[in-house]
Protein backbone atom coordinates (compact mmCIF):
# COMPACT_ATOMS: atom_id res chain seq x y z
CA UNK A 1 0.00 0.00 0.00
CA UNK A 2 1.29 3.45 -0.81
CA UNK A 3 0.54 6.73 0.96
CA UNK A 4 -2.22 7.71 -1.45
CA UNK A 5 -4.14 4.43 -1.19
CA UNK A 6 -3.71 4.53 2.60
CA UNK A 7 -5.02 8.10 2.71
CA UNK A 8 -7.94 7.32 0.37
CA UNK A 9 -8.91 4.27 2.41
CA UNK A 10 -8.88 6.15 5.72
CA UNK A 11 -10.80 9.13 4.32
CA UNK A 12 -13.41 6.77 2.86
CA UNK A 13 -14.63 5.90 6.34
CA UNK A 14 -17.60 7.73 7.81
CA UNK A 15 -16.89 10.86 9.91
CA UNK A 16 -13.15 10.92 9.18
CA UNK A 17 -11.02 14.03 8.92
CA UNK A 18 -7.31 14.42 8.28
CA UNK A 19 -5.17 16.84 10.24
CA UNK A 20 -1.56 17.74 11.02
CA UNK A 21 -1.69 18.44 14.79
CA UNK A 22 1.90 17.25 15.40
CA UNK A 23 3.58 19.25 12.64
CA UNK A 24 3.59 19.21 8.86
CA UNK A 25 5.03 15.69 8.55
CA UNK A 26 2.60 13.68 10.69
CA UNK A 27 -0.71 12.98 8.97
CA UNK A 28 -3.41 12.09 11.49
CA UNK A 29 -6.80 10.57 10.74
CA UNK A 30 -9.59 11.14 13.24
CA UNK A 31 -13.12 9.84 13.56
CA UNK A 32 -15.31 12.51 15.15
CA UNK A 33 -12.20 14.23 16.50
CA UNK A 34 -10.45 11.13 17.94
CA UNK A 35 -7.26 9.70 16.44
CA UNK A 36 -7.41 6.22 14.91
CA UNK A 37 -4.44 6.27 12.50
CA UNK A 38 -1.33 8.30 11.78
CA UNK A 39 1.79 8.23 9.64
CA UNK A 40 4.69 10.33 8.48
CA UNK A 41 3.87 11.72 5.03
CA UNK A 42 7.50 12.51 4.20
CA UNK A 43 8.64 8.97 4.98
CA UNK A 44 5.77 6.51 4.62
CA UNK A 45 7.62 3.67 6.33
CA UNK A 46 5.06 2.86 9.04
CA UNK A 47 1.55 3.55 10.29
CA UNK A 48 0.27 3.68 13.86
CA UNK A 49 -3.10 2.11 14.61
CA UNK A 50 -5.22 1.67 17.71
CA UNK A 51 -5.41 -1.95 18.81
CA UNK A 52 -7.02 -4.08 21.49
CA UNK A 53 -4.23 -4.84 24.01
CA UNK A 54 -4.53 -8.63 23.74
CA UNK A 55 -4.74 -8.50 19.96
CA UNK A 56 -1.70 -6.22 19.89
CA UNK A 57 0.37 -8.82 21.75
CA UNK A 58 -0.75 -11.52 19.31
CA UNK A 59 0.02 -9.38 16.26
CA UNK A 60 3.48 -8.48 17.56
CA UNK A 61 4.22 -12.17 18.15
CA UNK A 62 2.91 -13.24 14.75
CA UNK A 63 4.29 -10.47 12.50
CA UNK A 64 7.83 -9.13 12.58
CA UNK A 65 6.51 -5.94 10.93
CA UNK A 66 4.20 -5.15 13.86
CA UNK A 67 5.82 -3.42 16.83
CA UNK A 68 4.56 -1.51 19.88
CA UNK A 69 3.14 1.90 18.94
CA UNK A 70 5.98 4.33 18.26
CA UNK A 71 5.49 7.47 20.41
CA UNK A 72 2.10 6.08 21.51
CA UNK A 73 0.69 4.10 24.44
CA UNK A 74 2.36 0.77 23.68
CA UNK A 75 -0.48 -1.18 25.26
CA UNK A 76 -3.18 0.29 22.99
CA UNK A 77 -1.31 1.12 19.78
CA UNK A 78 0.72 -0.79 17.21
CA UNK A 79 3.15 0.40 14.59
CA UNK A 80 2.96 -1.47 11.29
CA UNK A 81 6.12 -1.24 9.24
CA UNK A 82 5.35 -0.64 5.58
CA UNK A 83 8.05 -3.02 4.38
CA UNK A 84 5.88 -5.00 1.97
CA UNK A 85 5.45 -7.99 4.28
CA UNK A 86 1.86 -7.10 5.27
CA UNK A 87 -0.79 -7.55 2.57
CA UNK A 88 -2.99 -4.56 1.78
CA UNK A 89 -6.08 -6.59 2.71
CA UNK A 90 -4.63 -7.31 6.16
CA UNK A 91 -3.64 -3.68 6.71
CA UNK A 92 -7.14 -2.55 5.75
CA UNK A 93 -8.60 -4.94 8.32
CA UNK A 94 -6.34 -3.42 10.99
CA UNK A 95 -7.34 0.10 9.91
CA UNK A 96 -11.00 -0.93 10.16
CA UNK A 97 -10.41 -2.39 13.62
CA UNK A 98 -8.66 0.77 14.78
CA UNK A 99 -11.51 2.92 13.47
CA UNK A 100 -14.11 0.69 15.14
CA UNK A 101 -12.28 0.69 18.49
CA UNK A 102 -12.10 4.48 18.54
CA UNK A 103 -15.68 4.95 17.32
CA UNK A 104 -16.89 2.63 20.09
CA UNK A 105 -15.44 4.98 22.74
CA UNK A 106 -17.23 8.07 21.45
CA UNK A 107 -19.84 9.69 23.68
CA UNK A 108 -23.43 8.77 22.88
CA UNK A 109 -24.17 12.06 21.09
CA UNK A 110 -21.12 11.70 18.85
CA UNK A 111 -21.98 8.07 18.10
CA UNK A 112 -25.43 9.20 17.03
CA UNK A 113 -23.99 12.00 14.89
CA UNK A 114 -21.65 9.49 13.25
CA UNK A 115 -24.52 7.09 12.56
CA UNK A 116 -26.52 9.96 11.03
CA UNK A 117 -23.79 10.74 8.48
* 58-101 residue pLDDT tens: 999 999 999 999 999 999 999 999 999 999 999 999 999 999 99
User: pLDDT tens digits for 105-115?
Assistant: 999 999 999 99
User: pLDDT tens digits for 30-63?
Assistant: 999 999 999 999 999 999 999 999 999 999 999 9
pTM metric for this prediction: 0.95
- The whole-number pLDDT of residue 69 equals 95
User: Cα–Cα distance between 89 and 86 in angstroms, integer?
Assistant: 8
User: Cα–Cα distance between 56 and 16 in angstroms, integer?
Assistant: 23
At CA 28, angle to CA 51 and CA 58, rounded to 5?
Answer: 15
- The whole-number pLDDT of residue 95 equals 98
CATH 3.30.70.360 assigned to domain 3-116? The reply is no
- The contacts of residue 45 (CB under 8 Å, 6+ apart) are 81, 82, 83
Amino acid sequence: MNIESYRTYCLGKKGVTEEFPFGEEILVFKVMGKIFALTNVQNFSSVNLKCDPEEGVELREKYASVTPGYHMNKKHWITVLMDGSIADKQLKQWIDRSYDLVAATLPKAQKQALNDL
